[in-house]
Structure 1
Amino acid sequence: MNDSKLAVIGTGFAGLSAAAYLAKAGFGVDAYEKNAEVGGRVRQLAEKGYVFDMGPSWYWMPEVFEKFFNDFGCQAKDFYELEQLDPGFTMVFGPGDVLNIPAGFEDLCTLFESIESGSAKQLQLFLKEAAYKYHTGMDKLVYKPGLSIFEFADWGLFKGVFKLQVFTTFSKHVRQFFKDPKLIALMEFPVLFLGAMPENTPALYSLMNYAGLKLGTWYPKGGFGRVTEAMQKVCEQQGVKFHTGEAVKGLTIDDEKISSIRTIKKDIGCDGVIAAADYHYVEQELLAPGYRNYDEAYWDKRVMAPSALIFYLGVTCRVDKLSHHTLFFETDLQQHATEIYKEPQWPTKPLFYVCCPSKTDDTVAPAGHENLFILMPLAPGLNDDETLREKYFGLLMERLEKYTGLPLRDRLDYKKSYCVNDFKTDYNAYKGNAYGLANTLKQTANLKPSINNKKIKNLFYAGQLTVPGPGVPPSIISGKVAAGQLIKYLNRKK
């Protein structure tokens, strides 16, 4: 056991990952969480027999989770059961115009061909390129700390740089393969919901299509809360101590190093810190101006991924027409994207997403009921009040009721909304963002906010506002990378 005592601020997936790796390296680790439970955005809400995942609901890239657990001598199946969804998800384009995206690749090719002649072969070519990006990205790129351009001075990466298509836009890339608007929407939706406008996103991110369409969409039985519990158990097995309901309020710096942290309860000496809470909040609220990497003007110029308006609903009937994941694309994708990224405003004709985990899991709703999670992407930083929430609840439910043929509002026995103000209150989220920093060309790899504090030697950042980026698997990886950097620093000190 190393004598050094380390602190992790925030216990979302990035913080849990960082804490586990630090403790495995032999350090004493204390993890501090402002909320009453561990998990950050990956919390659950249990009310009236319903169990709602409050944040992430898409389980993609299962090998990233598996790699985490393998690093500690265990497997995901030791903690929770995974089920592959079939269909992986459903897209609704209008009355009678519905695409169920099958889990099997041959069935997927058949579906594509039925929509656009020749598109099955195009899909195979598209995903062959995407597979190269995925394996290069996941094996070589995402585990780099992004501290120097020389990290990429690798002949294998250099000779394949054009195949990664960092300088080609996602929108242009997709349209080189497909012409049908539905197929284009199918390929573009991951970057819209999790990143930026397709025309501002590097084609590198077609790796997400490979993850979703080829590797499959999965579900952890019991919900994402089981994944949080599993990672917390791994941490505790390594010796991590958790302090919930204990927000960090300040950092004491001596000789360019953090010497202690101040929580709402006590001061604690420490030899290093991983800040896995909101990067902007940590810099602006916990550090004096002279110790910050970036000023407020810098943050204001960042392109943020969306916030969201979310409704957690319990309904007293089964809803046969919904899949586990259903995306409503009856309106113009480009207009909604513009109203998120270019002309921020509450959307005119929003796209939205419905998760119905009770289709797969009978433990998350009472018998005969459904558990619904409705999400509408929204520009961060907008005014958020109850009147606006209710207005959009009416708009979304009207469309959902029309599609399902059921008077769902008459059959509600639980309802809770969540939006910009809640993201700010619960997670100190900059501008109330839900997903982090958008994956634009100017915010990729070394161009993201730095993983290390340039003025404090033993402070490193993890999470969705630094490398490798937004999403659950990148957050797990971010924690590992940040932990590795702090371990290197501490080992150099010896």
Structure 2
Amino acid sequence: MKTIAIIGAGLGGLSASIKLASNGYNVHVFEKNAHTGGKMMPIDMGSYHFDFGPNTMTMPEVFDRVFEEANLNPRDFFDWTRIDQHTRNVDYNGESFMMSTNQEEMVDELSKLDPYAADHYNAYLEEIERLYLLSKNSFFPRMFTSPGDYLSPGLFNAVLRVRPLEKMNHFHERFFKHPLLLKAFNRYSTYIGSSPYLSPATFAMIGYLEMVQGVYYVKGGNTKIAEGLERAAKQLGVTFHLNTQVKQVHIEGKKATKVETVDGFVLPVDQVVINGDLLQSYPALVNEKHRPSMRNKKIESSSPSISAFVIMAGLSTRLQNLCHHQVYFSRDYTEEFETLFDGKWSLDPTIYISNSSYTDPSVSPDGDNLFILVNAPPLSGNNTISEEEYKTIIYDKLEAHGLPIREYIVEEKIVGPNEIKDRFHAFKGALYGISSNSLKNSFLRPSNQSKDIANLFFAGGSTHPGGGSPMVVISGKNVAEKIIERDAVK
């Protein structure tokens, strides 16, 4: 029986562990934190439960397939709830509209703000479906190891058809004219840690997931997904080493031979999967002399995605003007992104709030559990504002929108870029590794397989196919299938 070490128990590592264990491998998962799921981290304060992230779930079939392919029933581990009216979008001047998977409701909502958008919404849905299906069939299932992979028959044509040279904002201007609508749909770029004014229109396909397939929530909190994946992996015989940090991956003859933890435990291995931020984990675990194609200088020159500033606030009441998901936009969205990617904090930030107790009161029986997220710059010398100062800016803005949060706070916790960097080994505190603000970083993300070490693989949001929970799960599954395929032909 071959032994696989998976370093990092994020969603990619969990999905890989299940696939590998169900195919007869001896799988060991090492995780520096006390929980599995990576950024899908549960935080409980008093009677208030928070999902650190992600709060908006899509593509439930991707998660279910991990269980089904291991001959397990996903409903034995968690249940999905679909939220049809899912996100209220509010502009700086109080104008608002609700996103819904119901096409007639959306047309009615759009017509109040933008008759042009109402007339073109069906065309928008058709185009984002086309983009999604091309991506799903051509890109998601593959592992790319070199630029030449894109030149294979059919694939190069698919790349040309997903609007790689058009920017997301320009794409959305084809269908929407009202400033709030453009902000709301351009916000999909933040799902990959990027700017809508720089990232390719390809990622507008995210709209298909939310506006057609639907937004989902898991009863008890989205962190039940990670808990379910961990339970399934254990049923299949996976060994977990929590609160255990790996010190080094030992390399001999361009192959990983063993994994060593900081407390001196050594595991001989046949294959290694690093599930984490590649830009941070790879140099920390593998000596630079063994990775000539990924030297420290190259890593340091990478352009990181945005980070986050998060407030988790448990309230003593339920605010009547909140639903499950809502966004309060800045006055000047273009300036906000220019500021962020200049390494500075926006003083008029767009604010996202998840209030999962609106859908599931059991996770917060005594009042709202507000997960408040603001895009933040990756760590740099420009990070001069204090957490207390920024919290005040956020609360002041929300109060102006009729949300007097400070009056009702029972529990509160702040997580900023520094903690994200330290807790999740995230490169410069970035949420998604390299940003997708260029054609190269969008379509040529770091490969899922080391170019220098034959049996070393990578899974997670910083590699192909990209950020977001479903993509991370797919990356782990792709890596596991590649290992199984390679072993089958030996």
TM-score class, shorter-chain normalisation, is over 0.9
Report the equivalent of 1:426. 423
What is the deviation of 1:410? Answer: 2.6
| Aligned counterparts of 2:478 and 2:388: Cα–Cα separation in 1 | 42
| Structure-2 residue corresponding to 1:326 | 326
In structure 2, relative to structure 1, the CA distance for the partners of 1:489 and 1:256 (3 Å cut) is farther
In structure 2, relative to structure 1, the CA distance for the partners of 1:95 and 1:168 (3 Å cut) is closer
Question: Which residue of structure 2 aligns with residue 165 of structure 1?
Answer: 163
Deviation per CA, 1:341-397, whole angstroms, max 9, x where unpaired? 2x1111121111111111111121133x11011111011114698961111111111
- Once the two structures are overlaid, the 10-residue window that deviates more, 267-276 or 122-131, is 122-131
Which residue in the other structure is 1:228 paired with?
A: 226
Tell whether 2:430 aligns with 1:456: no
The 3-state SS of whatever aligns with 2:24 is coil
Question: For 1:384 and 1:491, how far apart are their aligned partners in 2?
Answer: 51
1:437 maps to which residue? 434
Is the Cα contact below 8 Å between 1:127 and 1:210 reproduced in 2? yes
Whether contact under 8 Å (1:144, 1:151) holds in the other structure is no
Supply the AA of the counterpart residue of 1:28: N
Aligned to 1:194: 192
Once the two structures are TM-superposed, the CA of residue 153 in structure 1 deviates from its matched residue by 5.2
CA distance in 1, matches of 2:336, 2:60: 30
The corresponding residue for 2:296 is 296
Paired-residue identity, %: 28
Q: 1:55 to 1:382 in 2, by over 3 A?
A: farther
Structure 1 residues 68-77 or 332-341, which shifts more? 68-77
Displacement of 1:133 after TM fit? 1.4
Determine helix, strand or coil for the equivalent of 1:249. strand
- Pairs within 5 Å for 1:60-459: 60-149=58-147, 151-152=149-150, 156-265=154-263, 266-292=265-291, 293-341=293-341, 343-367=342-366, 369-382=367-380, 388-406=386-404, 408-439=405-436, 440-445=438-443, 447-459=444-456
Q: Per the alignment, do residues 106 and 75 of structure 1 end up closer, same or farther by CA in structure 2, a change over 3 Å counting?
A: farther
Following superposition, the deviation at residue 306 of structure 1 comes to 1.0
Opposite residue 105 of structure 1, the aligned amino acid is: Q
The worse-fitting range, judged by mean Cα deviation, of 276-285 and 373-382 is 276-285
2: distance between equivalents of 1:92 and 1:480? 38
Q: CA deviation at 1:151?
A: 4.2
- 2:193·2:431 contact (CA, 8 Å) conserved in 1? no
SS in 2 for 1:7: strand
Task: Show CA shifts across 1:454-482 (max 9, x none).
Answer: 22111011111110011101100010111
The 3 A distance-change label for structure 1 pair 109 and 76 is farther
| 1:40 pairs with 2:26 | no
Aligned partners of 2:70 and 2:196: how far apart in 1? 37
Residues 193, 377 of structure 1: 8 Å contact kept: no
Deviation, structure 1 residue 178: 2.0
- Alpha-carbon distance between aligned partners in 2 of 1:377 and 1:338, rounded to the nearest angstrom: 12
Deviations along 1:92-131, whole A, 9 cap, x unmatched?
1135412111231111122122222232231211221110
Question: Offset of 1:158 from its aligned partner?
Answer: 4.8
| Contact 2:116–2:176 under 8 Å retained in 1 | no
Q: Which amino acid aligns with 1:17?
A: S
| Aligned-partner residue type, residue 482 of structure 1 | V
Task: Report the CA distance shift for 1:94/1:285 in structure 2 as closer, same or farther (over 3 A).
Answer: closer
Report Cα offsets for 1:17-74 as digits up to 9, x if no partner: 1111111221100000001121211110112111111121110122222322322234
**In 2, Cα distance between equivalents of 1:487 and 1:216:** 33
Q: TM-score, normalised by structure 2?
A: 0.95
Residue 468 (structure 1) aligned to one of 465, 468, 484 = 465
Aligned-partner Cα distance in 1 for 2:216–2:310 = 21
Structure 1: stretches of 5+ with no match in the other structure: none
Q: Distance in 2 between matches of 1:317 and 1:374?
A: 16
CA distance in 2, matches of 1:95, 1:175: 21
Separation in 2, partners of 1:195, 1:410: 32
Q: Distance in 2 between matches of 1:127 and 1:276?
A: 34
Structure 2 residue matching 1:88: 3-state secondary structure: strand
Aligned partner of residue 44 in structure 2, secondary structure: strand
Structure 2: gaps of 5 or more residues: none
1:153-193 deviation line (CA, Å, top 9, x unaligned)? 56554555443112222121111222211121121011035
Give the alignment's TM-score, normalised by structure 1: 0.94
Letter in 2 for 1:410: E
> Residue 25 of structure 1 corresponds to which residue in structure 2?
23
- After alignment, is 376-385 or 460-469 more displaced? 376-385
Contact residue 113 and residue 120 of structure 1 kept, 8 A: yes
CA contact (8 A) 1:191 1:197 kept: yes
CA distance in 2, matches of 1:281, 1:163: 33
Are the counterparts in 1 of residues 12 and 476 from structure 2 also a CA contact under 8 Å? yes
Q: Quick one: which amino acid aligns to residue 291 of structure 1? A: H
Pick one of 13, 16, 26 that aligns with 2:11: 13
Per the TM alignment, residue 248 of structure 1 is displaced from its structure 2 partner at its CA by 0.4
Separation in 1 of the partners of 2:137 and 2:63? 14
| Residue 477 (structure 1) aligns with | 474
| SS in structure 2 of the partner of residue 413 of structure 1 | strand
- 1:210-229 Cα offsets, whole Å, 9 max, x none, are 11111111111111111001
Q: Deviations over 1:397-437 (max 9, x none)?
A: 1121232353x213211111101111121111110112333
Counterpart CA distance in 1 for 2:410 and 2:380 is 29
Q: 1:136 to 1:237 in 2, by over 3 A?
A: farther
Residues 205-247 of structure 1: CA distance to partner in whole angstroms, max 9, x if unpaired?
1110111111111111111111001111221222211110111
Read off the aligned partner of 1:353 and give its amino acid letter: Y
- What is the number of residues matched between the two proteins? 487
CA contact 2:19–2:66 (8 Å) conserved in 1: no
Q: Given that residues 249 and 259 in structure 2 are in contact (C-alpha distance below 8 angstroms), is that contact kept between their aligned partners in structure 1? A: yes
Structure 1, 343-352 or 145-154: larger mean CA deviation:
145-154
Taking a change above 3 Å as real, the CA distance of residues 383 and 194 of structure 1, as seen in their structure-2 partners, is: same
* Aligned-partner Cα distance in 1 for 2:89–2:188: 12
Q: Which amino acid aligns with 2:266?
A: D
CA shift, 1:268, in A, is: 1.1
